[in-house]
């Protein structure tokens, strides 16, 4: 799957890019009609420890799924985003199958 990544207020390292690509590729096992995904990583300038934001938009035919999570680390945020997207994609697949 093609994953477009953008980072705001920091530069992303290769390990994080590979981690995100692996997680997003796993989503194709739940719904095979995914066109591509846009991942936005942001660091908020606050004193709170949970200042990492992962905002993911998955393009599927006829619709877009958007999930935004804020956590202590980008890895944790991406884990939460992909699990939420997994549930949404399975729900979408069941809805399509019913028609």
Per-residue DSSP letters for the chain? -EEEEEEESS---HHHHHHHHHHHHHGGGT-TT--EEEEEEEE--SSSS--EEEEEEEEETTEEEEEEEEESSHHHHHHHHHHHHHHHHHHHHHHHHH-
For 2-29, what is the mean pLDDT? 94
**pLDDT band, residue 1 (cuts 50/70/90):** confident
Under DSSP, the state recorded for 6 is E
The tokens of 67 are what? Answer: 């999930």
Range 2-98: architecture per CATH? 2-Layer Sandwich (3.30)
> pLDDT above 70 covers what percent of the chain?
100
Q: What is the pTM of this model?
A: 0.90
Is the pLDDT at 21 greater than 80, yes or no?
Answer: yes
């Amino acid at each position: 799957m093609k994953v477009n990544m953008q980072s705001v207020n920091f530069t992303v390292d290769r390990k994080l890019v590979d981690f995100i690509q692996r997680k997003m590729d796993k989503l194709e096992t739940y719904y095979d009609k995914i066109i591509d995904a846009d991942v936005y990583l942001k660091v908020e300038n606050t004193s709170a420890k949970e200042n990492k934001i992962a905002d993911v938009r998955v393009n599927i035919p006829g619709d877009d799924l958007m999930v935004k999570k804020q956590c202590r680390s980008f890895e944790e945020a991406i884990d939460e985003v992909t699990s939420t997207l997994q549930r949404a994609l399975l729900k979408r697949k069941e809805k399509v199958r019913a028609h």
